[in-house]
Structure 1
Amino acid sequence: MLKVERHNYIMAKILKEQKVNTIELAQELKLSEDTIRRDLNELNDKGLLVKVYGGAFPVTDKPANIFDIVIVNEDKKKIIGSKALSLLSDGQVIIMSGGTTNLAFSKLIPSDLKATIYTYSLPIAMQLSQHPNVELIFIGGKLQKNAMVTIGMDVVQVLSTLKADICFMGASSINVKLGLTEMGYEVSVVKKAMMQASDKVVSMVTSEKLNTKMPYVVCELNQLHTIITDLNPKDSRLEEYVKAGVHVL
């Protein structure tokens, strides 16, 4: 498919549905997510749409400021976040990765929760700063501007000193055979360090990311304690994950 054909397809879809998702576009057009991101960036530069983390929206829906982040598939991510609340308790030490699923989750955390939360996500840190009983530690490092998360050895070194009760990990993709995988190498390294620092690992993943894969492996499926999706745990799409021995919410 020629670039102009892709751009026309993307604009037609965004006009019809008022949003597009990077992963869904890549699957529909049988292209890499990098190609779709480049297309969205070009269309954004031309002022034809607003590129956001995970997809794009019409120009009229442009966020008012950099921290007013539009969450793609927010309804699904609220379902996931609501389920994840059951795993929270006072006194926990928690690590949260970046991504809009965890951002949606952070907005649902009760204001009376008493916990220590580490994160390297700037938007999540800004959200959690409003919680009076949360001791918030933002892990600094090199800022990955498109996702607004810190990466690199500075982040890994801090994580290596922690002992957390639980980590809530957003995911780019999940696959029964490969486990969790990521598009970027540096992000995969940070997530591995998150896992090593935590007693329990919870993967937060929307249903369209099931049975997909990215270039860099984070962990095998049996290293996860829980997978939380927007689906009913008895949904047929989750059968293989249940059979693999992972707790599914």
Structure 2
Amino acid sequence: MLKAERRNIILKKLTDEQRISTIDLAEELAVSEDTIRRDLIKLHEKGLLEKVYGGAIPVVNKAKNIFDIVISNVDKKEIIGNKALSLLHDGQVIIMSGGTTNLVFSKLIPPLLKATVYTYSLPIAMQLSQYPNIDLIFIGGKMQKNAMVTIGIDVLQVLSKIKADICFMGASSINVQQGLTEMGYEVSIVKKAMIESSDKVVSMFTSDKLATKMPHVVCELNKLDTIVTDLSPEDARLEEYRKLGVTVL
């Protein structure tokens, strides 16, 4: 019996019986008690069970909500989101990228806003599914699990058929020379498609993203209509962006 198969049997037995014994498992699976102990230790380390003396029990409160996302700089992102609310109005067709800044923004949207929203971010889609007057279209595709966004040709095909009034795009990095850049190539391609499908492009990011760059270019600054940061629009760090004709909020 393969190690993975044996550990799956252990987890199923734990689900069925709510407590398992090292001695009983060793006898049932025809392996040594030391082997079972090693299995239980590994499963414990992965958070799949709670190892106790003589066996194991289920993890208490194991079922954590996967959408309890840890968000850094929440206060700054709320400042950004509140500024961006001025760009919303009833009847818009909106595209929203992923990212925690947009997730915070989505939580601030007025509950009765009437709009159509396209997004490839699963957490944002779940948040906006609570809004009764938003027609929500989740763009399916290959899931990038760490960011919980979809990528790939399916996403690009949907975006190519949309004509949005506005897109709200998170940014990993921005600088005057390269514009918006991303760490991942596939995400950069999806964001390029968002820009092409939108009449107005709004990039939202915390001020620590200013004057930084990543390997893959999304767009030059002239493709952006507005940038929204946690800084005052008159902050000296934003002067070069204003000079290039970008509206700064």
TM-score normalized with structure 1 length: 0.75
Is 1:236 aligned to residue 236 of structure 2?
yes
1:209-234 per-position Cα deviation (integer Å, ceiling 9, x unaligned): 00000000000001100000000000
Please name the residue that 2:178 is paired with: 178
Please name the residue that 1:155 is paired with: 155
Cα distance in 2 for partners of 1:240, 1:137 equals 36
1:190-241 per-position Cα deviation (integer Å, ceiling 9, x unaligned): 0000000000000001000000000000000011000000000001111111
Cα distance in 2 for partners of 1:107, 1:247 equals 24
Q: Give runs of aligned pairs for residues 14-29 of structure 1, distance below 5 A.
A: none
Please name the residue that 1:115 is paired with: 115
Cα distance in 2 for partners of 1:68, 1:128 equals 15
The answer to which of 89-98 and 69-78 deviates more is: 69-78
Please name the residue that 2:142 is paired with: 142
Cα distance in 1 for partners of 2:188, 2:137 equals 21
Cα distance in 1 for partners of 2:131, 2:172 equals 27
Cα distance in 1 for partners of 2:93, 2:105 equals 16
**What is the CA distance between 1:64 and its match in structure 2?**
4.0
Q: Counterpart amino acid of 1:110?
A: P
Give 3-state SS (helix, strand or coil) of 1:199's partner.
coil
Q: Counterpart amino acid of 2:203?
A: S
Please name the residue that 2:59 is paired with: none
Please name the residue that 1:31 is paired with: none
Please name the residue that 1:23 is paired with: none
1:161-211 per-position Cα deviation (integer Å, ceiling 9, x unaligned): 000000000000000111000000000000000000000000001000000
Cα distance in 2 for partners of 1:162, 1:244 equals 28
Q: Counterpart amino acid of 2:82?
A: S
Cα distance in 1 for partners of 2:154, 2:132 equals 27
Please name the residue that 2:52 is paired with: none
> Where does structure 2 lack aligned partners over 5 or more consecutive residues?
1-44, 48-62
Q: Counterpart amino acid of 1:237?
A: R
1:117-152 per-position Cα deviation (integer Å, ceiling 9, x unaligned): 000000000000000100000000000000000000
Please name the residue that 1:219 is paired with: 219
Q: Counterpart amino acid of 2:243?
A: K
Cα distance in 1 for partners of 2:132, 2:68 equals 21
Please name the residue that 2:192 is paired with: 192
Cα distance in 2 for partners of 1:165, 1:46 equals 45
Number of matched residues?
191
Percent identity between matched residues is 79
**What is the CA distance between 1:46 and its match in structure 2?**
9.2
Give 3-state SS (helix, strand or coil) of 2:116's partner.
strand
> Where does structure 1 lack aligned partners over 5 or more consecutive residues?
1-44, 48-62
Q: Counterpart amino acid of 1:192?
A: K
| Residues 240/127 of structure 1: CA separation in 2 closer, same or farther (3 Å cut) | same
